[in-house]
Amino acid sequence: MDNPERILIIRLSAIGDVVMASPLIGAFRRTYPDSRISWLVEKGSKDVLSGNPELDEVIVWPRDEWRRLLKGWRFIKLIKEVFAFIRKLRQKPGYDLALDAQGLLKSGIWAFLSGAKVRAGIGSKEGSRFLMTRVIDRSGASDRISSQYLLGAEALGLDTSDFSMRFPTGPEGDRFVDSVMSRAGIGDRFAVFCPFTTRPQKHWIEERWGELAGLISNELGMPVMILGGPGDKEAAGRIRESAVKRFIDMAGETTIKQAAGLIKGSSLLVGVDTGLTHMGIALGAPTVALFGATCPYLDTGSETAAVIYHPMECSPCRRNPTCDGKFPCMASITVNEVMETVADLTVKR
């Protein structure tokens, strides 16, 4: 369309997906430099976007707060808040273009409720296609990171000359790195492990993290830091106990911006299919991604990032594993294989 004055990007969650969709901001900004660009996102992923100089506004959908009101039977307050949020979203002047980059019913509903004249959905499903004025087929997406969003950008005629992921760490992240390094008594070379995600079929064998940490510490001279959320502290403790060398356990101790600062300052990241791993690629950290039940990409688009993936007959099972909890796709990834990949990346840097 010709010069939309107000643009709304919708990718509600999760952290890694918002990171991978972030090149859309620059593509819109280069194509429509004078337009106002907003992004609708859930609270848990908003820090991926905050501080991005090319984005005018981050709109947070208070989904968790609405759920609490619903569970507490506070229906009148919930209805008032829902309608107030919709009014704010539709306030004049309205959106000319809404891009649903998630393609689900919940994101499609918000595109529709935004009142945008043009509503484009990338791979719209779950009935959301009926809420769009245009559906962009993503079946031709390549194995490269962010490829489905690149397809959407190209279909809209955006400038994709630089389709790189962006994650502004800000001063909070930088200050936190200095503080952690000082407290832990480590130098400027350290490795970061990101072993945790929401699904067990995406996890690597816990004991292997401890073995890998010992090799990285002994052979590369890097202390190892483990990152994760508050719910990962118990698992982080088990990994820490299995390690020969001391871990710096930061699980549950950081905000998203602080974790990003540590990743940006690291000399190596090893992680599973989780938002922090994708963040590592966005921030230019040498990254080894371990994939199995899911494989969001094979081509990282970076010489200092690599994927280890051994597909099985059942791959990718995503949310429906059929291996009785054995997860052979992840078990087939050996410590030596990871170390060989790490050695290749650290030589290239």
Tens of pLDDT, residue by residue over 276-307, are 999 999 999 999 999 999 999 999 999 999 99
Query: What pLDDT does residue 318 have?
Result: 81
pLDDT of 64 reads: 96
Enter the CATH code of domain 6-155: 3.40.50.2000
Q: Please say if the pLDDT value at position 158 is more than 70.
A: yes
Q: Where are the domains of the chain?
A: 6-155, 171-348
pLDDT band for position 222 (50/70/90)? very high
Distance from C-alpha of 107 to C-alpha of 100, rounded to nearest angstrom: 6
148-157 pLDDT, tens digit each:
999 999 999 9
Distance CA 171, CA 205 (A): 35
Rounded CA gap, 322 and 311, in Å?
14
What is the rounded distance in angstroms from the CA atom of residue 289 to the CA atom of residue 274? 9
Q: Is the pLDDT of residue 245 over 90?
A: no
What is the DSSP code (8-state) at residue 319?
T
Decide if pLDDT at 136 tops 90. yes
pLDDT of residue 326: 81
Q: Is residue 347 predicted with pLDDT exceeding 70?
A: no
Average pLDDT of the segment spanning 138-165: 96
What is the arithmetic mean of pLDDT over 21-38?
A: 98
**In whole angstroms, how far apart are CA 195 and each of 205, 213, 250?**
9, 12, 12
Place 250 in a pLDDT band, splitting at 50, 70 and 90.
Answer: very high
Higher-confidence residue of 119 and 313: namely: 119
Please determine whether the domains at 6-155 and 171-348 fall in the same fold group of CATH: yes
Task: Report pLDDT for 25.
Answer: 99
φ and ψ at 268, to 5 degrees? -165, 140
Whether 19 contacts 149, CB under 8 Å: no
Which band of pLDDT confidence, cut at 50, 70 and 90, is reported for residue 188? confident
Which region among 131-135, 185-189, 339-343 has the lowest average model confidence (pLDDT)? 185-189
More confident residue, 322 or 297: 297
- The length of the chain is 349
Which residues are CB-contacts of 277 (< 8 A; sequence separation ≥ 6)? 16, 194, 269, 271, 287, 289
The answer to whether residues 193 and 226 touch, using CB atoms and an 8 Å cutoff, is yes
As beta bridge partners, residue 268 has 191
**Percentage above 90 pLDDT, the chain:** 83
pLDDT band at residue 322 under the 50/70/90 scheme = confident
Contact 24, 7 (CB under 8 A): no
Q: What is the CATH number of domain 171-348?
A: 3.40.50.2000
